[in-house]
Homo-oligomer: A and B are copies of this chain.
Amino acid sequence: MDLSRLCIHTITTRPWSLDVAIEQYSRAGIGGISVWRQALAGQDVRRAGERIGNAGLQVVSLCRAGFFTSHTAAERRQAIDGNLTAIDEAAALGAPLLVLVCGATPGQPLELSRQQIETGIAAILPHAESCGVRLGIEALHPMYAADRSAVNTLAQAIDMAQRLGSPQVGVVLDVYHVWWDPHLYDEIARCGRLGRLFAVHLSDWKVPTTDMLNDRGLMGEGCIPLAAICRAIQAAGFGGFYEVEIFSSTYWQMNQKQFLQHIIAAYTQL
């Protein structure tokens, strides 16, 4: 069972502290870990990165920064400052990638939010480049367009990365957010051709979905054509990790060791 390209997001096993997650992922033979910033609260980030490395795990990304939009210039400036700090954290942790959830401000036209996002990323890009941290624009499901991200399709994310121009900016593809897109396969291929596919997040869309935030499914439990999407991702030349990111009130209530075994089984089956 080769789990070298499997990565788990610490938010997936939210009840575990970072150290428990490191220990358990490592014991299970998993190759990578994506660290949520909440899991780092109150910790020395550099030392956390060392503990991860010592456990034989690779840090895949730091999640998440972004949220560039606001009605006021002062808040947008604050957001940029916060993102510069997140880049420093990523560098200290040894994370090659910072995931950006770009933001949306209710009542503000999405077109304006998109401009603010692009301006914000452009503002932090030089620091990211000098720290050697890549920035990943994550397209979020349209059901989050009101208040979480005005970037809702892979095409938008790719176009924005292209306009920003730096090889340091790319796209995070989360199947939960983009599986419905009629242009999905074309955009995956384009993203690969452009060398902009930086990360892949896996979970599943349950039927019914009872909560818009915390009711994601384990791979195979829902209706996303994961095998087809993963084939397209491989065909696009992606050689990175497959990252399991599951927000689930149900799974968070479960015994996390059992849950981890379920994740491994679902990944292996896929």
Contact = CB atoms under 8 A, between A and B. Distances in A.
Interface string A165-187: 00000000000000111100000
Contacts of A209: 143, 146, 212
Contact of A109 (B109, B181, B222, B228): B228
A143 B212 CA distance: 9
A147 interface: yes
Copies in the complex: 2
Contacts of A153: 182
Contact of A110 (B110, B143, B180): B180
A146 B221 CA distance: 13
A182 B156 contact: yes
A139 to B, nearest CB: 11
Interface in A45-75: none
Contact of A223 (B107, B114, B179): B107
A225 interface: yes
Contacts of A145: 179-180
A111 to B, nearest CB: 8
A106 interface: yes
Nearest to A206: B146
User: Interface residues of A: mostly helix, strand, loop or mixed?
Assistant: loop
A7 to B, nearest CB: 26
A188 to B, nearest CB: 14
A153 B152 CA distance: 12
Given A152-B182, A207-B106, A228-B109, A222 B143 contact: no
Contact of A146 (B106, B114, B181, B222): B222
A247 interface: no
Contacts of A242: none
A114 B180 CA distance: 12
B207 A147 contact: yes
Which one of A212, A222, A228 has the greatest number of beta carbons of chain B within 10 Å? A212
B152 A180 contact: yes
A215 to B, nearest CB: 10
A153 B153 CA distance: 12
B147 A208 contact: yes
Given A109-B228, A152-B180, 11 more contacts: A106-B207, A109-B225, A110-B182, A142-B181, A143-B143, A143-B209, A143-B212, A146-B222, A152-B182, A156-B182, A212-B212
